[in-house]
């Protein structure tokens, strides 16, 4: 999507290597927890200031290995602004999709009651926290699947996979 939009708007012909750099930038943005925290804690305008700082740092990091791409993005301020606008919008959409998925996870008194019962059972069984932590991933998966059902968990897994594997950069070569 970014590539197609910029190609149509500015007549830029990105190479496969350029497309790879865009995917790399998007992934590095997605992995930046401080940027995510800024978006969640600030107005869109203030988050954009942080985003611009982060993207400039990321682009500067690319200079050593990717001078041509860096120059293409930074030499034309109008193009750089359009590129950053599109990248920022895609980043925000990704965070909003994660928020939408998380908002679908039921949170209620039943969950709190289950936690209280689990603590009592652990104590009665004479288990330590380390014992539980060793088995926790398998136990958690079993309990969550039982609580929310196979259909809900499968859909949540598909959406998570699409966000982290399929959509990051997927539209970049469109």
> What are the tens digits of pLDDT across the range 121-157?
888 888 865 676 777 677 777 887 787 788 888 888 8
The DSSP-derived string for 117-153 is HHHHHHHHHT--HHHHHHHHHHHHHHHHHHHH-HHHH
Domain residue spans in the chain?
Answer: 2-104, 109-157
Give the predicted TM-score (pTM) of the model. 0.41
The tens digit of pLDDT for each residue in 50-100 reads: 999 999 988 888 776 667 777 778 888 888 888 888 888 888 888 888 877
On the CB side of 103, CA atoms within 13 Å amount to 6
């Amino acid at each position: 999507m970014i590539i197609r939009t910029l190609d149509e708007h500015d007549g830029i012909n990105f190479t496969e290597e350029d497309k790879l750099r865009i995917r790399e930038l998007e992934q590095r943005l997605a992995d930046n927890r401080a940027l995510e925290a800024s978006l969640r804690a600030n107005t869109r305008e203030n988050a954009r200031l942080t985003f611009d700082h982060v993207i400039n740092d990321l682009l500067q990091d690319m200079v050593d290995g990717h001078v041509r791409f860096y120059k293409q993005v930074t030499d034309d301020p109008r193009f750089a602004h359009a590129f950053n606008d599109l990248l920022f919008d895609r980043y925000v959409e990704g965070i909003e999709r994660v928020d939408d998925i998380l908002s679908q996870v039921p949170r209620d008194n039943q969950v709190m009651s289950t936690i209280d019962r689990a603590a009592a059972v652990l104590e009665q069984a004479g288990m330590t926290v380390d014992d539980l932590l060793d088995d926790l991933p398998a136990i958690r998966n079993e309990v969550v699947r039982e609580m929310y059902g196979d259909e809900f968990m499968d859909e949540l897994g598909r959406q998570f996979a699409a966000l982290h594997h399929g959509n990051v950069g997927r539209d970049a070569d469109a």
